[in-house]
């Protein structure tokens, strides 16, 4: 096998552990110097490849690369950019080949979710379609946990842990206040289509917290919901609601779009939590507090799941090992063997089976009333939030690394407009 350089890029929404996968890719590639030359990272994802804006990761110290393991966000920059089909935009593919050739790139590691798997799949076909020899491996990453085949996706376990921990703490708070003040706490979580993140709130039932979950998979029934909240407040003195941003009415309209208008009369974007809180106030009169975690949840490396961090690293490492073994058009996966004790192995999936397939919560993970999770779901979730993996702190704050991100000198003339 001739020695080739590797390209690595981060794609889509970043997570608390995507850099742990980057760490796994780079450290493992460095152990295979016989076949892999340098690891070039795309500045801002695939855009870095298209614009020949490559970062030379060999210019970073070993300590800096190791620190990626405990640093949230995308250290090389990410992007939301989906390659069109070969037919629709041959120009982009021709450009990628031009850049890959110029920098002797034979390995393509793409770290992302469903859309990114599609881009990675298209690139994995370049050998067949345009005759350029490349091995493209997808490294799974998404807080939404909606990639198929793999049992879970790096990034999800840490968000689930964050939501469970934060909602537990806030529920203790509202319980303390409920006698004379707040009786309802609403937290809005990510998940436009799949309720995996919201499901983490269901873990609190075992801690005595009365939680009502509003999933995107369950059509919102206002009457039933209000009755449940009222029942909890009457029984426990308070109620916690975890509402997914994707929660919607039977007609598909999101709760967050419920006609809220700002001072200029424009529809106000976002905010299922305030809508739900005000709805309860209107109907039942309970004083409320609400929170929208937004980026805080997916960036919360300070409370990451040790299991998640470990798996993120392992899948980055596995991606490189698959490449060394000659694989193309695949994605390493987490294959669960048992729930308790939690055992899994690293498997491999064909990218054609991954790209553009969205994995929703199974029906038997949501309780019959639609407001909670089943024992089966709990067995699925619990292993993923196990263990703490604290970042080092300096002067009161986490010591996250910012890389030098030194550009590889350009070899091509002219600019590529994206």
Q: How far apart are CA 163 and CA 196, in angstroms?
A: 11
CA distances from 358 to 188, 213, 236, 329 (A): 22, 21, 37, 18
> What backbone torsions phi and psi does residue 174 show, to the nearest 5 degrees?
-65, -35
Q: How far apart are CA 147 and CA 11, in angstroms?
A: 14
Region of residue 376 (left: phi > 0; alpha: psi -120 to 50; beta: else): alpha
Task: Kindly indicate which of the ranges 21-29, 113-121, 242-250, 260-268 contains the residues binding a copy of itself, using the contact rule CB under 8 A.
Answer: 260-268
Residue 291 binds a copy of itself, judged by CB under 8 A: yes
Q: What is the dihedral of CA 332, 333, 338, 344, to 10 degrees?
A: 30
Q: Where do the H-state alpha helices sit in 30-89? A: 46-50, 62-67
Residue 268 binds a copy of itself, judged by CB under 8 A: yes
Among residues 30, 127, 258, 374, the one that binds a copy of itself under rule CB under 8 A: 258
Among residues 62, 295, 337, 376, the one that binds a copy of itself under rule CB under 8 A: 295
Residue 292 binds a copy of itself, judged by CB under 8 A: yes
> Is 353 an active-site residue?
no
Among residues 64, 102, 336, 387, the one that binds a copy of itself under rule CB under 8 A: 387
Q: How far apart are CA 279 and CA 287, in angstroms?
A: 11
Task: Kindly indicate which of the ranges 22-30, 268-276, 325-333, 403-411 contains the residues binding a copy of itself, using the contact rule CB under 8 A.
Answer: 268-276
Does 13 belong to an annotated binding site?
yes
Q: Which is nearer to a copy of itself, 2 or 269 (CB)?
A: 269
Binding to a copy of itself (CB under 8 A): which residues in 38-57? Answer: 44-45, 47
Does 380 belong to an annotated binding site?
no
Residue 252 binds a copy of itself, judged by CB under 8 A: no
With beta carbons less than 8 A apart as the criterion, state whether 332 and 319 touch: yes
Among residues 2, 88, 180, 363, the one that binds a copy of itself under rule CB under 8 A: 180
74: tokens are: 């995308």
* Bridge partners, 344 (sequence order): 336
Among residues 22, 50, 83, 299, the one that binds a copy of itself under rule CB under 8 A: 299
E strand or H helix that includes residue 130: helix 126-130
Does 251 belong to an annotated binding site?
no
Binding to a copy of itself (CB under 8 A): which residues in 134-173? Answer: 161, 164-166, 168-170, 172-173
Q: How far apart are CA 98 and CA 46, in angstroms?
A: 14
Among residues 109, 132, 185, 380, the one that binds a copy of itself under rule CB under 8 A: 185
* Bridge partners, 240 (sequence order): 185, 211
The candidate with the shortest Cα–Cα distance to 130, out of 161, 156, 159, 91, is 91
Nearest-approach distance from CB 291 to a copy of itself, in angstroms: 4
Q: Among 144, 146, 308, 389, which one carries the catalytic annotation?
A: 144
Does 191 belong to an annotated binding site?
yes
Among residues 129, 343, 402, 411, the one that binds a copy of itself under rule CB under 8 A: 402
142: tokens are: 């998404």
Residue 340 binds a copy of itself, judged by CB under 8 A: no
Summarize the annotated binding site for substrate as residue ranges. 142-144, 190-192, 245, 295-298
Mind telling me the catalytic residues? 144
Summarize the annotated binding site for diphosphate as residue ranges. 13
């Amino acid at each position: 096998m001739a020695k080739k350089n590797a390209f690595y890029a981060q794609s889509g929404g970043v997570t608390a552990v995507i850099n742990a996968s980057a760490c796994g890719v780079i450290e493992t590639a460095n152990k295979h110097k016989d076949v892999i030359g340098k690891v070039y990272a795309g500045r801002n994802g695939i855009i870095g490849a298209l614009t020949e804006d490559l970062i030379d990761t060999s210019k970073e110290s070993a300590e800096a690369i190791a620190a990626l393991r405990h640093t949230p966000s995308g250290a090389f920059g990410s992007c939301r950019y989906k390659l069109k089909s070969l037919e629709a935009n041959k120009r982009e593919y021709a450009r990628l080949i031009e850049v890959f050739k110029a920098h002797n790139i034979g390995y393509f590691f793409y770290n992302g979710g469903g859309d990114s798997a599609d881009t990675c799949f298209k690139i994995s076909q370049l050998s067949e379609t345009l005759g350029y020899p490349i091995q493209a491996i997808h490294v799974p990453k998404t807080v939404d946990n909606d990639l198929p085949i793999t049992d879970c996706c790096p990034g999800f376990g840490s968000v689930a842990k964050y939501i469970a921990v934060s909602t537990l703490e806030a529920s203790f708070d509202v319980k303390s206040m409920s006698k004379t003040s707040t009786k309802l706490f609403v937290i809005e979580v990510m998940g436009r289509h799949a309720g995996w993140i919201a499901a983490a709130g269901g873990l609190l039932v075992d801690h005595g917290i009365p939680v009502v979950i509003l999933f995107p998979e369950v059509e919102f029934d206002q009457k039933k919901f209000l009755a449940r909240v009222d029942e909890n407040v009457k029984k426990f003195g308070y109620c916690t609601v975890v509402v997914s941003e994707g929660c919607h009415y039977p007609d598909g309209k999101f709760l967050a779009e419920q006609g809220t208008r700002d001072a200029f009369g424009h529809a106000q974007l976002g905010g299922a939590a305030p809508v739900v809180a005000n709805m309860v106030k209107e109907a039942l009169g309970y004083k409320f507090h609400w929170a929208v975690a937004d980026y805080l949840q997916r960036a919360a490396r300070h409370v990451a799941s040790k299991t998640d961090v470990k798996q993120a690293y392992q899948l980055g490492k596995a991606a490189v090992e698959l490449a060394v073994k000659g694989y193309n058009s695949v994605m390493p996966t987490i294959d669960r063997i048992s729930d308790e004790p939690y055992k899994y192995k690293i498997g491999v999936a064909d990218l054609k089976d991954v790209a553009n397939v969205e994995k929703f919560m199974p029906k038997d993970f949501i309780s019959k009333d639609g407001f909670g999770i089943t024992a089966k779901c709990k067995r699925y979730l619990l292993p993923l939030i196990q263990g703490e993996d604290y970042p080092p702190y300096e002067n009161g704050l986490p010591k996250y690394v910012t890389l030098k991100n030194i550009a590889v000198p350009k070899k091509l003339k002219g600019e590529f407009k994206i």
